[in-house]
Structure 1
Amino acid sequence: MDSEELVDLIYAALLGERTWEDFLKALSEQLPDGVATLFYHDSEKSRGSWDLVYGADASALRDGGYYASINPWMKRAATRQVGVGVISDQMLPVNELKRTEFYTDFVYGRFRTRAAVGLTIVREEGKSFLLSVLTSREDPDENARAAELLTQLAPHLRRAFHYFRAGPKHRQIAEIAGSLFDSADVGVFVVGEGGRLKSASASAERMLAEGRCARLNPLGRLRLCDAEAAQVLQRMLDRTEEDAPRAFTRVINGTKATLVRVMKDRFAAYFEGPTVVLFLEPVLRPRALELEDFVKSHKLSSAEARALVGLLEGKNAAAIAAEASLSRETVRTQIKSLYAKLGAAGRIDVIRQVAQLDLRRATK
Structure 2
Amino acid sequence: MTSELGIVDHLYEAAVVPELWKEVLERLCGVIGVRAGALLTIDTSGGIRSIVTDAYQPAYQDYIDSGQRYPNVRPRRGLQLHPHRFVPDVDVATQEEMDQDPIYTQFLRPHGFGSTAGTAVLSPTGDTIVFDSAKLMAEGPLSRRETSRLDRYWSDFARASLISQRLGLKAASAATEAMQVIGLPAASVTAEGRVVSINGMFEALSPRILFGAFDRVSLADRKADRLLSSALAGLDATAVRSIPIPGDHGLPALVAHVVPIRRAAHDIFTRSAALLAVTPIVPPEAPLAELLTGLFDLTTAEARIARGIASGMSVEAMAAQTSLSRETIRTQLKAVMAKTGTDRQADLALLLSSARPIPGAPG
Instruction: Please confirm whether the aligned pair reaches a TM-score higher than 0.5, indicating the same fold.
Output: no
TM-score, reference length from structure 2: 0.41
Who wins on radius of gyration, i.e. which is larger? 1
TM-score, reference length from structure 1: 0.41
